[in-house]
Structure 1
Amino acid sequence: MTLARPSRAAGVPVVVPPFLVVAAILLLAINLRGPIVAVSPVLDAISADLGISATTAGLLTGLPVLCFGLATPAASALLARVGLGRGVSISLVVLLAGMLLRSVGGLPTALAGTLLIGIAITVGNVAVPVVIARDLPRHAGPVLGAYTAALNVGSMLTLSLTVPLAASLGWRTAVASWGVLVVAALALWVYATRGAVRSTPGAADGAGATTTAQDDRTWWRRPVVWLLTIAFSGQAFAYYGVTAWLPLLLRDELGMAPGAAGLSASIFQIAAITGAFGVPVLLRVLPGPRAVVLIVVAAWSTLPLGLLLAPALWPVWCAVGGAAQGGGLVVVFSLIVRSARDLADNRRISALVQGGGYVVASTGPTVVGAVHEATAGWTAPLLVVLGAIILLGTAGTFSAGLTGSRTG
Structure 2
Amino acid sequence: MNTKRQGINFTFEVFLLAANLRLAIIGIPPIVTKIQSYFHLTTAQTGVLTTIPLLCFGFLSATTAPIIRKLGTKRTIEYALLMLAIANLLRTYVNWGMFLGTIFVGAGITMLNVSLPALIVERHPEQSTKLNGVYTASINLLSAIVGGIAVPVANAIGWQFTVQLFSIPALIAFLGTLMLPHQATRPRKRTATDHQEVTGKAAATPIWKRGHVWLLAIFMGLQSLIFYTIVAWLPSVLTSHGLSATTAGLLFSIFQIIGAPFAYLVPRATTKASNLKLLMISLLIGYLSGIGILIMFNATWLLILACIIVGITTASIFTLSLSMITTISTTPQEAGSVGGIVQSIGYLIASVGPTMFGVIESTLGNWSQTLIILITISIINILVGFVLIKIVQKNHFVY
TM-score normalised per structure 1:
0.81
Does structure 1 residue 353 correspond to structure 2 residue 342? Answer: yes
Shift of 1:395: 1.7
5+ residue gaps, structure 1, are 5-15, 200-205
**Cα distance per residue 1:371-401 (max 9 Å; x no partner):** 4556665445534533432231232223333
- Could you give the per-residue CA deviations for residues 295-339 of structure 1, whole angstroms, max 9, x where no partner exists? 212213333322222242222111111111122123334555666
**In the alignment, what sits opposite 2:258?**
271
What's 1:86 paired with? 75
Structure-2 separation of matches of 1:349 and 1:88: 17
Aligned mates of 1:17, 1:57 — CA distance in 2 = 44
Deviates more, 1:333-342 or 1:34-43: 333-342
CA contact 2:140–2:257 (8 Å) conserved in 1: yes
Q: Is the Cα contact below 8 Å between 2:62 and 2:344 reproduced in 1?
A: no
- Contact 2:133/2:266 (CA < 8 Å) preserved in 1? no
Moved more, 39-48 or 115-124: 39-48
* Bigger mean CA offset, 311-320 vs 346-355: 346-355
Cα deviation, 1:177-226, whole Å, max 9, x if unaligned, reads: 32232232223332x32x52599xxxxxx997413587325x64555443
Amino acid at match of 2:251: S
- Aligned with 1:331 (options 320, 323, 326): 320
Q: Which moved more, 1:317-326 or 1:45-54?
A: 45-54
Q: Which residue of 2 aligns with 1:307?
A: 294
What amino acid maps onto 2:264 in structure 1? F
Question: Counterpart of 2:173?
Answer: 185
Give deviations 1:65-94, integer Å, cap 9, x for gaps. 222222124333333333333322221121
Map of 1:183-332 to 2, 5 A cutoff? 183-190=171-178, 192-193=179-180, 195-197=181-183, 209-211=198-200, 215-216=204-205, 220-221=208-209, 223-251=211-239, 253-258=241-246, 260-284=247-271, 287=274, 289-311=276-298, 312=300, 313-332=302-321
Residues 4-403 of structure 1: pairs in structure 2 closer than 5 A: 17-106=6-95, 108-190=96-178, 192-193=179-180, 195-197=181-183, 209-211=198-200, 215-216=204-205, 220-221=208-209, 223-251=211-239, 253-258=241-246, 260-284=247-271, 287=274, 289-311=276-298, 312=300, 313-333=302-322, 349-372=338-361, 378-379=367-368, 381-403=370-392
Q: Give the TM-score of the pair, scaled to structure 2.
A: 0.83
Aligned length: 386
The question of whether the paired residues in 1 share the 8 Å contact of 2:129 and 2:323 is answered with: no
Structure 2 residue runs without a partner (length 5+): 186-193
Contact between 1:230 and 1:391, CA under 8 Å: does it hold in 2?
no
Task: Give, as a single letter, the amino acid of the residue that structure 1 aligns with 2:305.
Answer: V
- Map Cα deviations across residues 264-302 of structure 1 (whole Å, 9 max, x no partner): 312222222233234345445773633422221221333
**Contact persistence 1:296–1:324 (CA under 8 A):** yes
The range that moved more, 222-231 or 142-151, is: 222-231
State the Cα RMSD in Å. Answer: 3.3
